[in-house]
Amino acid sequence: MMNKRIIRRIALALLLLLPLATYLLLFPPYQPLRPTGAHAIATARYAYTDKKRLEQFSSRRENRQVNVTFWYPQNTDGNASYPLIVYSHGGLGAETSNESLFLELASHGYVVASIGHPYHALWTRNQDGRITFVDSEYFQELGRENARQDKQQSYRYYQKWMRVRTDDINLVIDTILEKSSNNADDVYRLIDVKRIGVMGHSLGGSAALAMPRQRNDVSAVIALEAPFLYDIVGVENDKFTWRDAAYPVPVLNVYSDSSWSHLDEWTQYARNAALRDDASETAISLHLSGAGHFSLTDLSLASPLLTTLLENGQSNHDRTGYLQKVNRACLDFFNRHIKNQTIKEQP
């Protein structure tokens, strides 16, 4: 029989190993989907500092710094240029949330810039190596927000979240345009600045949907299960009020089973429902059945167990096949509305 000292040591060892075991159970090693395009893929990572904004989530009185990871074609000649796609992750996502999609686009001749929104990302690593985790107040806001019970509070949250996200996206696009115009090396020399798309998942998709309202150089948008939060301009008689202007660019709204049947009842999705019912060649609503909200991202590959828990057991499906459908739909849409678009040039 083992003595008490050995038992205590075993118990201590198990206690120390429990966090690691839990992490490995939730996040086993995985590989993103193999891209299907002809281009080999390179990556690069930068941090952009916004000299116009102080970091509101920090007391250090420092300017906000935004992390950006690029995926782009590697086997290029000196004259090649490719459309730019900027991505904003979900409410608690990360730069690599849709890495399979980024790889797929890059392999077919796109430069993808994925933003790590500090304090909105679950975590992101700064250029100095410091890891920034999600802000606790923002995390609590995500949990408290309930448009059915308190639209005024939801509207205030939407305004606050959209300001952070859209300011970050504008910083990234403006910085890339500046570096490209100054003939910067590396990835910047590959970018066709006249062909820009924006996409995002969930809250990041809402921010992506806002961008054509703020700038005229965005040619198309993809939103992976995201409401038009920026188009909500107020609350009257306990109802959201909306911008009157038509959506200015082609848009692909992709939905899983998590939201498709709720578009009419979730008031923040009223514009999504209207675009679904008034289908056109430039406003596409695509329902990919058989999975839930997080299966639109690589989380379904990175953590099948966590995805199943978050989707209430809904994600017992062909995860690879489902993500392939997501990636193909996004690639086809950008090929049609960005890569093959006619650029209007002055004579």
Average pLDDT, the chain: 88
Q: What is the pLDDT of residues 187-235, one digit of tens each?
A: 999 999 999 999 999 999 999 999 999 999 999 999 999 999 999 999 9
* pLDDT above 60: residue 130: yes
What are 250's two structure tokens? 């082609």
Sorted by where each begins, the domain ranges of the chain are 37-288
Q: Assess whether pLDDT exceeds 70 at residue 320.
A: yes
For residue 239, what are the β-bridge partners? 236
Distances from the Cα of 14 to the Cαs of 18, 78, 211, in angstroms?
6, 56, 50
pLDDT band (50, 70, 90) for residue 311: confident
What is the average per-residue pLDDT within 95-107? 97
- Residues 294-322: what's their mean pLDDT? 79
Which has more confidence, 92 or 252?
252
Q: For 37-288, CATH number?
A: 3.40.50.1820
Of 181-185, 211-215, 295-299, 331-335, where does mean pLDDT reach its minimum? 181-185
In degrees and rounded to multiples of 5, residue 288 shows phi and psi of: -105, 105
Q: Are 65 and 47 in contact (CB under 8 A)?
A: yes
Diameter over CA atoms, the chain: 91
HEC states along 222-263?
A: EEECCCCHHHEEEEECCEEEECCCCCCCCEEEEECHHHHCCC
Region 291-306: mean pLDDT is: 86
pLDDT the model gives residue 186: 85
**Phi, psi dihedral angles at 63 (to 5 degrees):** -70, 150
